[in-house]
A = this chain, B = another copy of it.
Amino acid sequence: MSEFKFNGKTVYYEVHGERGTPLLLLNGIMMSVNSWKPFVKTFSQNNRLILVDFFDQGRSARMDCAYAQNVQADLTAALLDVLALDKVCVMGISYGGEVALRFALEYPQRVERLILANTAARTSAWLRDIGHCWNAAAATGDGRLYYLTTIPVIYSTEFYESHAEWMKAREKTLVPYFSQPDVLSALVRLTDSAENYDVTARLGEISCPTLIISAQSDIITPITEQNLLHACIKDSKHVIINDSGHASMYEQPAVFAALVLGFANQAETRYEI
């Protein structure tokens, strides 16, 4: 349980494991350090695993006004300073992938390798309206309505069928959670901070080895978005996880973990073929 101050506000983080390439995981919008609990053992076995709550997430500080998403990238850089780490391997999923891209653009010398799971280069007009939908639902203060607008689109039809009990438990936990005004206002601010996100024009600047992970049934950030990333990031590879929606780490944890561990830990990513 560790924290530090950034811009005068608390940032919560955890470090697990003591050896190996440092591996930093950046959360999706509704996630927190706790979301990675099932993966801590796997990711810390041969790596120094670093988890962090962005502002308005988990145990980090709530903000009191709108902010630019880039503050989360700056917070990430500050965390590396605290840990005295020059360079890390960064994996970001969804909102965390957006911050990972901003981080790689602002602090290129600090990214060893980059893994972008279920990530887009921009908040498209379509995704912006999805954000408007979420925030309009939040404005009603109705936790169940917020659950219904945000959660189903994150999972695939297949996962819903095969994890019916799990989804019901999720609903039971999340509806009361989303009924808390401060939780909803934090989520609204997080969503707003991505409203004008668009790094498309700068993707050519990214030069570190990059792995782009798509999920076959991802609604929120469909494969077409990752095709764009792949076309614009020079040293990028692209892989597609089958039977998975947007929350690929939960729908296909073993494949997700394999890709992250394997890409982060292979001796080098260029082969003399």
Interface residues of A in 248-271 (CB under 8 A from B): 250, 252-255, 257-263, 265-271
A167 vs B45: C-alpha distance when bound (angstroms): 40
Q: Counting CB contacts under 8 A, is A160 at the interface?
A: yes
Q: Counting CB contacts under 8 A, is A201 at the interface?
A: no
A161 vs B155: C-alpha distance when bound (angstroms): 24
Q: Counting CB contacts under 8 A, is A93 at the interface?
A: no
A152 vs B129: C-alpha distance when bound (angstroms): 7
A239 vs B137: C-alpha distance when bound (angstroms): 35
Q: Counting CB contacts under 8 A, is A241 at the interface?
A: yes
B273–A157 CB distance below 8 A: no
Q: Which of B140, B156, B161, B242 contacts A140 (CB 8 A)?
A: B140
Interface hit among A34-42, A50-58, A180-188, A189-197? A34-42
Interface hit among A7-15, A71-79, A94-102, A120-128? A120-128
Per-residue CB contact flags for chain A residues 83-101 toward chain B (1 = under 8 Å, else 0) read 0000000000000000000
B45–A267 CB distance below 8 A: yes
Q: Counting CB contacts under 8 A, is A82 at the interface?
A: no
Q: Counting CB contacts under 8 A, is A230 at the interface?
A: yes
This chain's copy number in the assembly: 4
Per-residue CB contact flags for chain A residues 182-225 toward chain B (1 = under 8 Å, else 0) read 00000000000000000000000000010100001101001011
Q: Which of B160, B224, B261 contacts A265 (CB 8 A)?
A: B261
Least CB distance, A262 to chain B, in whole angstroms = 3
B259–A258 CB distance below 8 A: yes
Cβ–Cβ < 8 Å partners of A239 in chain B? 239-242, 255, 259
Least CB distance, A125 to chain B, in whole angstroms = 5
Q: Counting CB contacts under 8 A, is A68 at the interface?
A: no
A217 vs B157: C-alpha distance when bound (angstroms): 14
Least CB distance, A138 to chain B, in whole angstroms = 11
Least CB distance, A62 to chain B, in whole angstroms = 25
Least CB distance, A257 to chain B, in whole angstroms = 5
Cβ–Cβ < 8 Å partners of A250 in chain B? 273
**Given contact pairs A42-B271, A254-B263, a sample of 4 additional A-B residue pairs in the complex whose CB atoms are under 8 Å apart:** A126-B152, A211-B254, A217-B224, A239-B259
